[in-house]
């Protein structure tokens, strides 16, 4: 009986400590500016610790990403990044950004602005609906596109992309009024699709890669999805994740674009609600 009481007390103390850490992490995170919160989540995406869409909002998934980062680097996992830990996050997150050349692309044909890992692709060519990029060995392929409403409605497009297809296995799907995401495997390759709805059309990208690239491509797919927005003439690149006061426009780790509007909060968002 005594051992049971001790176990219960240990559990209650542990639960109380976790709740206190969560609240402190929330206060710390929300004490940053919106751009700083966005930048932190993007960096956590690139380190592989945050696995939700970047939205600048705090919730269980943001807390999990912060503590995961701390755990992986032997920091105390309280969800509050000390100045030295923030420098480590910047260093580790930007390592992938620099290696793949992740930079902002504004496309006229597809009407999209999104981050693109340009170093991964050897060939790049315009298409009737957007742009097509391929790796030198064909193991990674990115296509951006736009479909007018009179050709296919937004919901019809979703049904078509999630309907039964030979060789396709869907592992994840989510449908919202303004965007949808579908991911899975097609003919032995992993894929990720994100499509956004505008009054005139549907715009999106499809990303395919061979399983050997899965570790870093999962991160890049999420970063691209989080950075995607409708293009506008003269649009800016959004928040700087490099930390440089005045990043050069030709830098390979240039700014990452903000969405035109705040992303919808969902089970895949930082809120974790």
pLDDT digit string, tens, across residues 241-257: 555 433 333 222 333 33
Reported as type and span, the H/E element at residue 238 is: none
DSSP SS3 for 119: helix
pLDDT tens, residue by residue, 5-28: 555 444 444 445 567 799 999 999
Reported as type and span, the H/E element at residue 266 is: none
DSSP SS3 for 208: strand
Check if the beta carbon of residue 132 is closer than 8 Å to that of residue 142. yes
CA–CA separation, 70 vs 83, rounded Å?
A: 13
pLDDT score of 253: 33
pLDDT tens, residue by residue, 190-205: 999 999 999 999 999 9
| Residue position matching structure tokens 């019809």 | 156
* Average pLDDT of the residues in 112-130: 95
- Angle of CA points 249, 119, 230, to nearest 5°: 60
Nearest CA among 162, 144, 260, 115 for reference residue 202: 144
pTM for this predicted structure: 0.82
Distance of CA 29 to the CA centre of its chain: 18
Nearest CA among 241, 260, 140 for reference residue 196: 260
Spatial strand order of the sheet with 112-117 comes to: 102-107, 112-117, 229-230
CA–CA separation, 177 vs 242, rounded Å?
A: 33
Retrieve residue 83's tokens.
């100045």
pLDDT tens, residue by residue, 89-111: 999 999 999 999 999 999 999 99
- Identify which has the larger pLDDT, 8 or 230: 230
Is domain 103-230 given the CATH code 3.40.1000.10 in the classification?
yes
pLDDT score of 158: 97
Retrieve residue 91's tokens.
């260093």
Task: Name residue 178's beta-bridge partners.
Answer: none
Domain boundaries, the chain: 2-96, 103-230
**% of the chain beyond a pLDDT of 70:** 78
Check if the beta carbon of residue 74 is closer than 8 Å to that of residue 80. no
* Average pLDDT of the residues in 115-123: 96
């Amino acid at each position: 009986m005594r051992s049971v009481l001790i176990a219960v007390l240990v559990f209650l103390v542990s639960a109380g400590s976790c709740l206190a850490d969560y609240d402190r992490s929330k206060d710390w995170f929300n004490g940053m500016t919106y751009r700083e919160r966005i930048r932190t989540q993007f960096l956590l995406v690139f380190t592989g610790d945050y696995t939700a869409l970047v939205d600048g909002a705090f919730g269980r998934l943001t807390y999990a990403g912060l503590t995961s980062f701390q755990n992986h680097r032997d920091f105390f996992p309280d969800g509050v990044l000390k100045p030295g830990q923030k420098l480590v996050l910047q260093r580790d997150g930007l390592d992938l950004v620099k290696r793949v050349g992740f930079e902002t692309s504004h496309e006229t044909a597809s009407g999209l602005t999104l981050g693109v890992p340009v170093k991964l692709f050897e060939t790049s060519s315009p298409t009737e609906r957007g742009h097509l990029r391929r790796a030198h060995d064909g193991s990674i392929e990115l296509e951006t596109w736009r479909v007018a409403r009179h050709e296919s409605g937004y919901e019809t497009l979703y049904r078509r992309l999630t309907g039964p297809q030979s060789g396709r296995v869907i592992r994840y799907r989510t449908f919202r009024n303004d965007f949808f995401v579908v991911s899975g495997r097609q003919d032995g390759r992993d894929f990720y699709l994100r499509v956004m709805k505008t009054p005139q059309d549907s715009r999106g990208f499809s990303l395919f890669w061979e399983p050997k690239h899965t570790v870093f491509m999962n991160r890049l797919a999420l970063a691209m999805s989080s950075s995607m927005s409708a293009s506008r003439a003269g649009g800016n690149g959004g928040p700087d994740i490099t930390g440089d006061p005045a990043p050069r426009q030709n830098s390979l780790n240039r700014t990452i674009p903000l969405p035109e509007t705040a992303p919808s909060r969902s089970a895949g968002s930082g809120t974790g609600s």
